[in-house]
Structures are given as structure tokens and as C-alpha cells.
Amino acid sequence: MTRNYHTPLFLNEIRELLHEYLVKVLVDATFAEGGHGLTYAKEGYTVLGIEYDKELYTISKKKVQDAGVACTLVNGNFANLDTIVKKTGIRRVDAVLFDFGISMYHLRASSRGFTMESDQKLDLRADSTAKYTGRDIITSYSKEQLHECISENIESIDTGRLVDAIVSYRVKKGIARTSDIWAIAREFSNSKYVQEAVVRGLLQALRIEVNKEEENMKIGLQKASSLLDGSGLIITITFHSREDRLVKLFFKTSKWKSVFKKPLQHTSYAFAKSARLRAYVSN
């Protein structure tokens, strides 16, 4: 039996949105283990799921087949949303859901270095067939490139000094695993709090860079906006301030209006304290 790692957030809130805006066909652009898409397919919605990670796609494909519901799952990147929808032959889409970031599967089961809780290879690819890894970036980027990559992910820390620590460490010992990131953090500061912030921030920065997350977010949101052509619903879940800010800025200058005065927050789980739900409809 396949173990479920994902705990879908805002299920009821999204369910209410789908009902209120008369959604029949939903694109779950970040399908993962099907926490959202498969749930709504079982409730009668027609769902097109898109999953970038080939490994996770294979796992979820079996779940979809076993469920026997109106859910089509495609292995692809939501940056190619328009092309994927066209190839499936779906003529009408009412809503697009984005659950940005990485899945719990990546944190708990992929062994690719997403977690700071255990020593793993510094891979950080959401798609294991992608060309470059986190190790490639942290060992080959110049000081200027590293500074640009990590400066927005670690607040209240001297990024210049941290970059110097990274470069010094990689010259002396090389960087290949998450344990090396912890070693850099310990050399950078004696404070456990600072060390944890450094490790968390570095892993996040490298992950974003490896997977081109922000670039793909912008493209995906634009593709969803064009696909729905001014009539439909776009729902986003973000997990850190950079993601949330990117979503806000995208819709601030668009024809879409926010459904909520403020983003909804999730307080049921400790891991979800930073999660934000936003929804937009055509203005």
C-alpha cells in the first residue's frame, strides 16, 4: 500500500470556492499526491492534474487509476499549462489551482536534500531528471551569483559574510550534502537559532534556483490567466513570503480581483503556519 505524505490544506475553503463559482472542470497544476485534485475528482469534478516530478507522477498515476474517477494526470510543468490543456483535448477550464512550493513527499521520502532534519545528498531537484542540482549551484556559482541567489531567503543575516563562509568551506572541504550546509552554518555562528535560519534559508534558496520556481510561477500564473480568458477562478496556496509577494504583485496589475480581503491562513498544523490561500476572479 502506498503511503500518503501529503496533508492538503484549505480543502473546505477551496471546496466552497468551487461550489460558489460553479466550477465543473478544474486544473490542479501542482497535483503531487493528489491531496486536492483527487479529492475533488471523487466529489464529481472533472480534474486535469499536472505533476512535474516523474517519480511522484508514477506514484499518483496509480492512485488515479485505482480511484476510477474523472481525473486525467499529466507529467509536465505548469509553465506549459496551455500546451498541456490543448493536448488533453479539454475545451473548457473553469478554475486553476496552484499549491506552490514542494510537497511533503519531497521533504519526507525523496532523499534529495529538501529537509534539514537528516543528512542527504544536496540534490534539491523537484524533477529528478533535471540537469542541475543544488550541489552544482553552491559549488560553481561566483560570489556575486551566490549573493543574489540567497539574499532574499535569509533575513537579518549578513549575506556577504555568509557567502564568504560558503566559498571558504567549499575550497577547503567541498560541498555535497546537507551536513555540509550545517557545517557552514556552525562556522558562521555559534547561535543555534541563527544556524537553523541559515540552513533553512540556504536550502530554500538553492531549491528555488535549481527548479526555477519563481520564473515558473510567473509563467504559470500568466498561462492560467490567458487560459481562463477573463472568466474563471484562479486559486493559489503559498508557503513563504516570496511566493506570496509574487502572487500579490502579479494580480495587482491584472484584470483579476481578489475574492478575499486578506489571504486566508491555516492554523491547524504547525508546518502550515506560513500558508496563505488566495483566490482571484475576473474583474
Predicted TM-score (pTM) of this structure: 0.91
Q: What sign does the CA torsion over 63, 224, 103, 215 have? A: positive
Q: Which of 188, 211, 234 is the last residue of a domain?
A: 211
Q: Based on the fold, state whether residues 218 and 93 are members of the same structural domain.
A: yes
Q: Based on the fold, state whether residues 48 and 121 are members of the same structural domain.
A: no
Q: Do the domain assignments include residue 191?
A: yes
Q: Based on the fold, state whether residues 144 and 167 are members of the same structural domain.
A: yes
Q: Based on the fold, state whether residues 120 and 188 are members of the same structural domain.
A: yes
- Where b means 16+ CB within 10 Å and e means fewer, 29-52 reads bbbbbbbbbbbbbeeebbbbbbbb
- Lookup: cell for 231: 472568466
Domain holding 231, by residue range, is 11-99+213-282
Q: HSE of 206 in the Cβ direction (CA atoms, 13 Å)?
A: 32
The vertex-210 CA angle with 206 and 212, nearest 5°, equals 110
Q: Do the domain assignments include residue 104?
A: no
Q: Based on the fold, state whether residues 16 and 154 are members of the same structural domain.
A: no
Q: Do the domain assignments include residue 95?
A: yes
What total number of domains does the chain contain? 2
Looking at residue 269, its pLDDT comes to 65
Q: Based on the fold, state whether residues 23 and 83 are members of the same structural domain.
A: yes
Could you report the per-residue pLDDT of 115-135, keeping only the tens digit for each? Answer: 888 899 999 998 877 789 999
Q: Based on the fold, state whether residues 180 and 47 are members of the same structural domain.
A: no
Looking at residue 1, its pLDDT comes to 40
Alpha-carbon separation of residue 44 from 18, 37, 40, 104, 176 (angstroms) = 11, 11, 7, 26, 46
CATH number of the domain encompassing residue 145: 1.10.150.170
Q: Which of 156, 190, 211 is the last residue of a domain?
A: 211
Q: Do the domain assignments include residue 106?
A: no
Looking at residue 152, its pLDDT comes to 79
Q: HSE of 164 in the Cβ direction (CA atoms, 13 Å)?
A: 6
Q: Do the domain assignments include residue 76?
A: yes
Q: Do the domain assignments include residue 240?
A: yes
CATH number of the domain encompassing residue 79: 3.40.50.150
Residues 6+ apart with CB under 8 A from 142: none
List of the chain residues with pLDDT < 50: 1-2
Could you report the per-residue pLDDT of 72-102, keeping only the tens digit for each? Answer: 999 999 999 999 999 999 989 999 999 998 7
Could you report the per-residue pLDDT of 174-193, keeping only the tens digit for each? Answer: 999 999 999 999 999 999 99
Q: Based on the fold, state whether residues 259 and 277 are members of the same structural domain.
A: yes
Q: Do the domain assignments include residue 144?
A: yes
Q: How far, in Å, CA of 221 to CA of 166, rounded?
A: 34
- Where b means 16+ CB within 10 Å and e means fewer, 180-212 reads bbbbbbbebbeeeebbebbbbbbbbbbbbbbbe
Q: Do the domain assignments include residue 105?
A: no
Q: Based on the fold, state whether residues 222 and 86 are members of the same structural domain.
A: yes
Q: Which of 211, 231, 252 is the last residue of a domain?
A: 211
Q: Based on the fold, state whether residues 19 and 84 are members of the same structural domain.
A: yes
Looking at residue 4, its pLDDT comes to 57
Q: Based on the fold, state whether residues 228 and 158 are members of the same structural domain.
A: no
Q: How far, in Å, CA of 181 to CA of 77, rounded?
A: 29
Q: Based on the fold, state whether residues 206 and 221 are members of the same structural domain.
A: no
